[in-house]
């Protein structure tokens, strides 16, 4: 079986091709970039529609395959930005109908976890999922993935981008914030049990910048506090579950500073840190294709009539066995 997966939850339109052994044959991404920062939903949809044909062709060329060699079509069904999701779902449905191939809608966070488990050989880890719209601590309870803790307001990546936009950084702001250095500025640190909150941190950081404090100092402190909060809840999850592997996924997982902090914590606890390569921690079509194969094995295809997008779809709504990798 060879699956073609379409990712379109936010600013990235991705097309991946994966076989049933989990070998990645192609992984093409084209991301929307706004010169002023932020993401306007209608502009995302227009971008995704404009790059669809070229992205599919590029993926097929990379895999050295014909579209007729594809046996399964997967797409990101949610969660995500509705207008962006609609483009990916529309393209996937049209391909499935035209080719007469089964269609499978995929949960985006689940795809991050499953591709991460596959490429790092992690069987039953605690997963720290950090991206633009999501910050969650995830584990498997024997019947499904459950969320042990999460942001109570905005995702870590979105907090970075909002702060970056205020100080004039292009989207995405994370990589540039990662490289800033400064002196310590006291900022709110909000962890509530297994949950955390970034809105107070962001509001105070913006207030400090507008009050004239040195941007580098506020930016460095903002990142230090945000990452330290994230690492704390991950450590609590390891202690609670007794598991000895931490899987770090999502676009923010590419941050060297975050990986360093998580790595130090894992080493002190005697846990193994597993991080997929950069092209697989970000949003991508390969993770959708692989998870579509797994989902097809578990429950079969989705009907076209029941393939509507789910912008608020949570990973813990899905019965899902712990699959050998």
Given a cut of 70, is residue 25 above it in pLDDT? yes
Q: Which residues contact 214 (CB under 8 A, 6 or more apart)?
A: 182, 183
Q: Helix and strand tally (H, E) in the chain? A: 10, 12
Asked whether the domain spanning 123-278 has the same topology as the one spanning 2-111+280-317, the reply is: yes
Query: Cα separation of 251 and 271, whole Å?
Result: 22
Q: Contact, 262 vs 231, CB < 8 A? A: yes
C-alpha 171/C-alpha 163 separation (Å) is 11
Q: What is the CATH number of domain 2-111+280-317?
A: 3.30.420.40
Report the pLDDT value the prediction gives residue 34, as an integer from 0 to 100: 77
| Whole-number pLDDT of residue 172 | 85
Could you report the per-residue pLDDT of 267-300, keeping only the tens digit for each? 999 999 999 999 999 999 999 999 999 999 999 9
Provide the pLDDT confidence category of residue 97 given band limits of 50, 70 and 90: very high
pLDDT band at 33; cut points 50, 70, 90: confident
Instruction: Please list the residues that pair with 210 across neighbouring strands.
Output: none
> Which pTM does this prediction carry?
0.96
- The average pLDDT across 139-155 equals 97
Q: 293 burial class (0-12, 13-18, 19+ CB within 10 angstroms)?
A: buried
- Quick one: how far is CA 271 from the chain centroid? 23
Which pLDDT belongs to residue 170?
85
Name 89's Cβ contacts closer than 8 Å, sequence gap at least 6: 8, 75, 77, 105, 307, 308, 309
Dump pLDDT digits (tens) for 174-207. Answer: 899 999 999 999 999 999 999 999 999 999 999 9
Helix axes 82-99, 41-63, angle to 10 degrees: 40
Share of the chain above pLDDT 70, in %: 99
Look over the chain and give the mean of its residue pLDDT values, rounded to a whole number. 96
Superfamily of domain 123-278: ATPase, nucleotide binding domain (3.30.420.40)
Sketch the domain layout of the chain as residue ranges.
Answer: 2-111+280-317, 123-278
Within 13 Å, how many C-alpha atoms sit on residue 143's CB side? 3
Q: Torsion angle, CA of 107/112/113/115, rounded to 10 degrees?
A: 110
Given a contact cutoff of 8 angstroms between Cβ atoms, the answer to whether 116 and 122 are in contact is yes
Q: How many CB atoms lie within 10 A of CB 294?
A: 23
Identify which of 222, 231, 131 has the alpha carbon closest to the alpha carbon of residue 180.
Answer: 222
Q: For the residues of 245-285, what is the DSSP string, one character each? A: EEEEESGGGG-HHHHHHHHHHHHHHTPEEE---HHHHSS-H
Q: How far is CA 30 from the centre of its chain?
A: 15
For tokens 């009907």, the residue is: 303
Of 121, 80, 106, 107, nearest to 247 by C-alpha is: 121
User: What 8-state DSSP symbol labels residue 35?
Assistant: T
């Amino acid at each position: 079986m060879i699956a073609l997966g379409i990712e379109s939850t936010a600013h990235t339109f991705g097309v991946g091709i994966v076989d049933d052994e989990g070998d990645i044959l192609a992984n093409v991404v084209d991301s929307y970039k706004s010169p002023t920062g932020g993401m306007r939903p209608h502009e995302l949809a227009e971008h995704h529609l404009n790059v669809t044909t070229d992205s599919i062709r590029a993926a097929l060329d990379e895999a050295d395959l014909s579209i007729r060699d594809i046996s399964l079509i997967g797409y990101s069904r949610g969660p995500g930005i509705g207008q962006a999701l609609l483009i990916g779902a529309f393209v996937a449905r049209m391909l499935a109908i035209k080719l007469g191939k089964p269609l499978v809608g995929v949960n985006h966070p689940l795809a991050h976890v499953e591709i991460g488990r596959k490429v790092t050989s992690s069987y039953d880890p605690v997963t720290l999922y950090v991206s633009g719209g999501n910050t969650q601590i995830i584990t498997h309870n024997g019947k499904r993935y459950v969320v042990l803790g999460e942001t109570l307001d905005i995702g870590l990546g979105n907090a970075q981008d909002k702060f970056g936009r205020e100080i004039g950084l292009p989207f995405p702001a994370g990589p540039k914030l990662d490289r800033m250095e400064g002196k310590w500025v006291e900022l709110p640190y909000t962890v509530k049990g297994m949950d955390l909150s970034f809105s107070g941190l962001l509001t105070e950081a913006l207030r400090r910048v507008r009050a004239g404090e040195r941007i580098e100092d506020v930016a460095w402190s903002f990142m230090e506090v945000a990452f330290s909060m994230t690492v704390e809840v991950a450590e609590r999850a390891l202690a609670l579950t007794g598991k000895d592997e931490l899987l770090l996924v999502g676009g923010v997982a590419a941050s060297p500073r975050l990986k360093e902090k998580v790595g130090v914590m894992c080493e002190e606890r005697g846990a193994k840190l597993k991080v997929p390569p950069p092209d697989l921690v970000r949003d991508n079509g390969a993770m959708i294709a692989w998870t579509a194969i797994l989902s097809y094995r578990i429950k079969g295809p989705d009907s076209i009539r029941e393939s509507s997008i789910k912008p608020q779809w949570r990973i813990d709504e899905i019965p899902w066995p712990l699959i050998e990798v």
